[in-house]
Amino acid sequence: MKLATWNVNSLGVRLPHLLAWLASHPVDALVLQETKLTDDKFPHAELAAAGWQAVWFGQKTYNGVALLVPAAQAAPAEVVRNIPGLDDEQARVIAATVSSANAPATRVIGAYFPNGQAPGSDKFAYKMKWLEALHRWVQAELQLHPRLVLMGDFNIAPEDRDVHDPVAWAGQIHCTDEERAHFQALLALGLHDAFRMFEQAPKSWSWWDYRNLAFRKNQGLRIDHILVSQALRAQVAACIIDKEPRRAERPSDHAPVVVTLSD
């Protein structure tokens, strides 16, 4: 079973690009972030024509998330939109139970973590509050669904090796001690960073700034993550960042991350 996450930075712009990637990457579930579409604008018909069913949760201009599974697969079940109990006007989370043909049901949480803008800002305070609510909710979800995957754009670089220039980024947004402590708190729930379960090339990033020729110079951050629960840990066979779509014309600034679970 393959599961993937991708911040597409506008599904309206990126739909052809997404369909091309899906055609050559037959995953069992894909979560999207930054769709930037209200629910009435979500391109479910175009996705269905390409063989994909979806559940989605969006808003105008900003944020927006979705979960795609093959049309032949069972429909995503027990769908949750945003974090229960958190009063949030921003569309950042979609969760569902996914059943592929050859694996037991798996709880998939797709999340677009707040950016946070800058330490000390109102947006940073919102990020902290959101992270606290996420932690509480994921803890409860794990009790209900031992087979659980939390994936998405975390907007957190967990360690200095996830940052192209740790000195320049020290204490900056995505790299503060507070954000990193929240990442560790999620791991402490019994989640595992699938990418770090394997030896990886140094300077592996999932996001590169559009500016400064950052992709060409491989100056980026690893901020898109796939965390798997203890029950799934032994089945993780591979985890990769697919840089190829970042080379495209008009790419997203993020690359997809893909995890392979053995049956």
Partner DNA sequence: ATGGCCTTGGTACAAGGA
Report the nearest approach of DNA to the CB of residue 245 (Å).
13
Binding mask 208-247 for DNA (x = CB under 7 A): -xxxx--------x-x------------------------
CA 93 remoteness from chain centre: 10
Report the nearest approach of DNA to the CB of residue 61 (Å).
4
- How far is CA 104 from each of CA 54, 79, 89, 143, rounded to the nearest angstrom? 20, 17, 34, 16
Q: What is the Cα gyration radius of the chain?
A: 17
Answer yes or no: are the C-beta atoms of 147 and 141 closer than 8 Å: no
Report the nearest approach of DNA to the CB of residue 220 (Å).
8
* Interstrand relation of 29-33 and 2-7 (parallel, antiparallel or unpaired): parallel
Going by C-beta distance under 8 Å and a sequence separation of 6 or more, which residues neighbour residue 99?
Answer: 73, 74, 77, 105, 106
The sign of the CA dihedral 78, 82, 83, 85 is negative
Quick check: 61 binds DNA (CB under 7 A)?
yes
Catalytic residue, chosen from 28, 153, 162, 253, is: 153
Is 62 labeled as catalytic in the residue annotation? no
Report the nearest approach of DNA to the CB of residue 65 (Å).
12
With respect to DNA, which residue has the nearer C-beta, 69 or 133?
133
Distance CA 147, CA 150 (A): 10
Quick check: 12 binds DNA (CB under 7 A)?
yes
CB atoms within 10 A of CB 219: 18
Quick check: 123 binds DNA (CB under 7 A)?
yes
Quick check: 9 binds DNA (CB under 7 A)?
yes
Catalytic residue, chosen from 39, 87, 112, 263, is: 112
Quick check: 84 binds DNA (CB under 7 A)?
no
Q: Which residues bind DNA (CB under 7 A)?
A: 7, 9-10, 12-13, 34, 36, 60-62, 114-115, 117-118, 123, 153, 155, 173-174, 207, 209-212, 221, 223, 250, 253-254
